Amino acid sequence: MPTYRAPITDYRFLLTELFDTSRLSAYAGYEEVTPDLLASVAEEAGKLCEDLLFPLNMSGDAEGCTWENGVVRTPKGFKEAYKAYAGGGWIGLAGDPAYGGQGLPALLRYVVDEMVCGSNLSLAMYPGLTQGAFETIHLHGSEELKTKYMPKLASGEWTATMCLTEAHAGTDLGMIRTRAEPMDDGSASVSGTKIFITAGEHDLTDNIIHLVLAKLPDAPAGSRGISMFLVPKFLVNPDGSLGTRNGVTCGSIEHKMGIKGSATCVINFDNAKGWLVGEAHKGLRAMFTMMNGARLGVGLQGLGLADASYHSAVAYARDRVQGRSLSGVKNPDGPADQIIHHADIRRGLLFMRAFTEGARALSVFCGLHIDDEFRAPDAPTREAAADLVALLTPVIKAFFTDLAFESTNIGLQTLGGHGYIREYGMEQFVRDARIGQIYEGTNHIQALDLVGRKLPEGGGRLLKRYAALVAEELAASGQVPQLSAFATTVGGAAKQLQDATMLIMQRGMANGDEAGGAASEYLRLFGYVALGHMWLRTCRVALEKKASGGSLDASFYDTKLATARFYFERMMPMTHSLFASISAGSGAILDFPKEQF
């Protein structure tokens, strides 16, 4: 059986020692927020995930969702767990208190999301998009829509979806065919079919609010003609009670590789009543509010699954006895040694650990900047934070989910044949992790976004801001004798990233396919540098806290330093091969005759 252990101690380190979260108390609305409060909330979330959500993970996967005559039923126990989760105020954790939220930092939402997704990703999908819809309506909706819908979303009494994809139009949203006809009462009649709609229909709540991309009759061609509409499953009466059923039905659910307890639906809109969110023909901008948050959330899904797989693999490796260690007997009283003594098993486990802990630090770093972006009183701080979040979003989504899939495969491999058997739970982590590389914009799209949009923006302004932060850490860590070798490693990789950027920009101006052919490798190179930046900071702070008496045991800091050593010596050298591949150019890709594929 798999095990789940919420990373509570690691989050206490991140929230109270590695990063200066005390600065959040200077922001309006966060006056009562302290590092200890953040850590305490994270601890309570961890307990909830261990005790309530994780016990339903395997059974939910085995049972899955069912669909009959338009009605979707979730696995046994999901409804009760969802009500407990919503009743605890977790869905509206970071929401505006004026509309029913608790008003805690956005950072905390991402902390909780990792643990919720790691303990039960299928169940996490239902409230996950609701949080994004809350923020989208908050930023773009009319006051009437905010008042009518946001409190119900914050409480979890209703859930929400994001309806983009159509059978013929996945990434290319400009091709959508869903139509919205304006009505005399200010609403619109929405008709069309959307596919791959997460939580599009279920039995957890009485109403579901769909945010739907559609085109008005006078819409310009392509993506510039997309508008967003709020379309409820049930219409809402003036007193807030539910009225008649809207023209929204579930045509079927998908039978998927993973996240089987999450209903992925075909949703039909047949003259459904909806209301414009934001400006006409500006729906894509509004949708990206939700999508960018979802992309960060998907990265955290991968992180959570990798962490869950790691702890399950470690528990197995400590108990399973097979063969003798190549360096001598380690378990003289038994017929064989525990497999955790085998070097290659340890290598795999350390890969998983170094990835998850470095990625967790980067997610907190990004979460802090999200709060800076929306709460800092001065424009320069908000603008700098927005640049960093925009730059890191495709990296976190793609790099985290790529390495999460690798990690869950390592976890399965650690158990050998038992890992391939359902009852041990490891193969579920692999299946659940695989979708992260696909939805909310495939990882290829994330790489193209990074290279084609984020790097050129403002003449390279976004990357320059981030490079300055890396240089600042290099300077600080370079003064610590124990870290000089690690700082040299990060500095060299950062230089490779800079050189790769120049190569891609120069070649891309002559032939866009040159940039496209290098984009995925460039994003991965960026990811290794970003985690190296976090590990370097982690080492410096761990040494400082160990010397001055931090709040955690000395063994915690020693383990951080040992894990960082593995990252710098065994993982970060991968930047060399990535840089070599990028430097070779895309000729081998582009010159291959298409007829020979």
Look at residue 342 in the predicted model and tell me its pLDDT: 97
Ramachandran class of 66: left when φ > 0, alpha when ψ lies in -120 to 50, beta otherwise:
beta
d(CA 270, CA 189): 8
166 as an active site residue: the answer is no
Residue ranges of the chain with pLDDT lower than 50?
none
pLDDT digit string, tens, across residues 137-196 = 999 999 999 999 999 999 999 999 999 999 998 778 889 999 999 999 999 999 999 999
d(CA 526, CA 497): 7
> Of 22, 197, 160, 45, whose CA–CA distance to 114 is shortest?
45
Which of these is catalytic: 440, 473, 514, 521? 440
Look at residue 174 in the predicted model and tell me its pLDDT: 82
Q: How many CB atoms lie within 10 A of CB 417?
A: 7
Q: Which value, in Å, is the radius of gyration of the alpha carbons in the chain?
A: 24
d(CA 518, CA 514): 7
C-alpha to C-alpha distances, 25 to 106, 352, 375, 383, 469, nearest whole angstrom: 13, 34, 10, 20, 23
Backbone angles phi, psi at 2, to 5 degrees: -70, 160
Look at residue 171 in the predicted model and tell me its pLDDT: 79
Share of the chain above pLDDT 70, in %: 100
